[in-house]
């Protein structure tokens, strides 16, 4: 099922880009076509959304993404009106209905993690000791951070706009985190090359670690088989991945906050765990 989701998301992005340009081209040929105007509106919503999450880098959306549905449905209504009132061309309607179905599946199915196992990582439980690899290739255990609070972020990779936005958000709060004496640890299964690039990009004294072969993710029930969108392998990312997770540990290694998100578009507001961090010190 996750492999199907990966194929679906990659295909949806391609379809939306194609639909946007094709609708714009068709509207240019027929400037007074309500059908192609409606299609441009519907497909444009998807293009703006996917372009925005990469360019603006937002770490979260609303669960139902209502702000995208209003213009998308308005476009659909325009297409339906034009198709049955003024034209016998059913191509705009067919494309729009595929767009509508694709957006529904993206919103309520493709980004959903509701079946993930949450039993091992719960507030009040000790963090299992896991072994990771630093940028120099040396092994680092989570127990080495005992003695001070720590924020652990398991992220999917540089390709994930929500993960990158969440890391950026934490980087902006780094002075506050450092002032509390806490460690900020970013963990991903991606290659050393991608991890080093990320560390250089943010240039903060955080700890960037690799979960080689997803051993730690498997140990913590965070393993996500075929969790990477299809096609990212070409850029050097592996198909299996980690479920995005944020954990706040106290100085004794006890979990004081954990976000095991049910949807990778939904990430916790920093105030939720930074306020808890302030109370740990």
**C-alpha–C-alpha distance, residues 102 and 107, integer Å:** 9
This prediction's pTM = 0.91
Residues in a beta bridge with 150:
183, 249
For the CA atoms of the chain, what is the radius of gyration? 22
pLDDT at res. 281: 66
**C-alpha–C-alpha distance, residues 38 and 32, integer Å:** 11
Tokens standing for residue 87: 């034209």
pLDDT digits (tens, 9 = 90+) for 73-89: 999 999 999 988 766 78
**C-alpha–C-alpha distance, residues 267 and 228, integer Å:** 18
**Sheet harboring 207-210: ordered strands across?**
139-141, 131-133, 207-210, 183-188, 150-154, 245-249, 255-259
* Alpha helices in 128-214, H assignment, sequence order: 161-172, 174-179, 192-202
**Orientation of helix 66-85 relative to helix 34-55, angle to 10°:** 160
pLDDT digits (tens, 9 = 90+) for 4-40: 999 999 999 999 999 999 999 999 999 889 999 999 9
Measured CA distances, 269 to 169, 173, 214 (Å): 9, 12, 27
Torsion sign (Cα): 143, 145, 149, 152: negative
**Average pLDDT per block of 10 residues along the chain, 281 residues long:** 88 97 95 93 97 87 95 96 81 96 97 88 95 93 94 96 94 90 95 93 91 95 91 89 96 96 93 88 66
């Amino acid at each position: 099922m996750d492999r199907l989701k990966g194929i679906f998301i990659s295909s949806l992005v391609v379809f939306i880009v194609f639909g946007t340009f094709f609708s714009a081209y068709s509207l240019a040929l027929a400037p007074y076509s309500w059908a192609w105007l409606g299609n441009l509106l519907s497909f444009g919503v998807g293009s703006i959304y996917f372009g925005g999450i990469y360019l603006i880098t937002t770490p979260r959306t609303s669960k139902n993404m209502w702000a995208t549905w209003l213009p998308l449905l308005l476009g659909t209504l325009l297409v339906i009106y034009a198709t049955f009132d003024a034209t016998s061309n059913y191509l705009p309607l067919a494309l729009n209905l595929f767009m509508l179905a694709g957006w529904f599946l993206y919103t309520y199915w493709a980004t959903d993690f509701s079946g993930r196992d949450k039993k091992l990582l719960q507030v009040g439980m000790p963090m299992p000791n896991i072994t990771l690899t630093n940028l120099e290739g040396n092994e680092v255990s989570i127990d080495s951070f005992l003695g001070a609070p720590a924020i652990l972020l398991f992220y999917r990779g540089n390709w994930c706009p929500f993960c990158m936005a969440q890391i950026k958000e934490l980087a902006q709060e780094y002075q506050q985190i450092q002032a509390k004496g806490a460690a900020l640890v970013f963990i991903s299964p991606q290659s050393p090359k991608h991890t080093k690039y990320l560390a250089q990009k943010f240039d903060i004294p955080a700890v960037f670690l690799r979960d080689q072969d997803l051993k730690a993710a498997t140990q913590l029930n965070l393993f996500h088989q075929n969790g990477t969108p299809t096609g990212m392998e070409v850029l050097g990312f592996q198909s299996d991945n980690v479920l995005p997770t944020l954990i706040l540990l106290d100085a004794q290694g006890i979990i004081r906050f954990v976000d095991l998100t049910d949807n990778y578009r939904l990430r916790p507001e920093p105030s939720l765990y930074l306020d808890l961090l302030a109370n740990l010190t």
